Amino acid sequence: MRARACVVFFCILGGCSDDEFPPPDFSFSVADASFVPVQLFSPTENIKFDSYYSMFYEPNTDHGPDLELAVTWVDPQFRCTGPVPNGLEVLTALFSARTSGISATKIVIRGGPVLGQTNVYTGWSEIDNVDDRAMQIDGGYTIGEGGSLDGEVDYEFPGDISVRGSFHAIHCPAFDFTSAE
């Protein structure tokens, strides 16, 4: 798991795709009036995050190919065209399955002036709805257009810092990664 987290970390901060990607369209209808977008709360600033999902593909695991989901919450100044620029807040959780109801307690990436300084946390994130449009094929996977994930996040960090809210994540191909192992 540590190697997987490191690979995802370098992919998101270093970028893995040169593909052009238009600005995100986060418009969607929310039937639940209690929807509160994911936000970073801290003594120095509050930032509403955009949410993206990506795929982590491991072709050679003990049980065969494995395709996992990562969800990244990031400063809205980011556009999915490459790595997250230095100075922007970012947080990523890796989910071990692509199913509704799956939870993640482990954060694999923290970056930015506030979150980058943290190393202890408590909390969770959960995917409530999965429409990732991913299909495993011989030698890899493909992702159809229009997919999304919905869920909740609630992480707390020392210093009165938290990231919490509801998310609607769209696919960011710049964050997709295939393990070489």
pLDDT tens by residue, 13-66: 444 433 444 455 444 444 455 678 999 999 999 999 999 999 888 877 777 677
Retrieve residue 114's tokens: 């506030």
Q: Which long-range contacts (CB under 8 A, 24 or more apart) does 27-36 make?
A: 28/148, 28/168, 30/168, 35/166, 36/165, 36/166
pLDDT at 163 over 70: yes
Of 103, 98, 101, the residue nearest 141 (C-alpha): 98
pLDDT at 150 over 70: yes
Q: What percent of the chain lies above the pLDDT cut of 90? A: 49
Task: Check residue 165 and give its pLDDT.
Answer: 97
Task: Name the pTM for this structure.
Answer: 0.78
**What is the distance between the alpha carbons of residues 93 and 166, in angstroms, rounded to a whole number?**
14
Retrieve residue 32's tokens: 């639940």
Of 91, 161, 156, 169, the residue nearest 128 (C-alpha): 169
Task: Check residue 64 and give its pLDDT.
Answer: 66
Burial readout 120-159 (b: 16 or more C-beta within 10 A, e: otherwise): ebebebbbeebebebeeeeeebebeeeebbbbbbebbbee
Task: Check residue 17 and give its pLDDT.
Answer: 39
Residue 100 gets which letter from DSSP?
A: T
Domain ranges, ordered by start, for the chain: 2-17+38-175
Q: What percent of the chain lies above the pLDDT cut of 70? A: 77
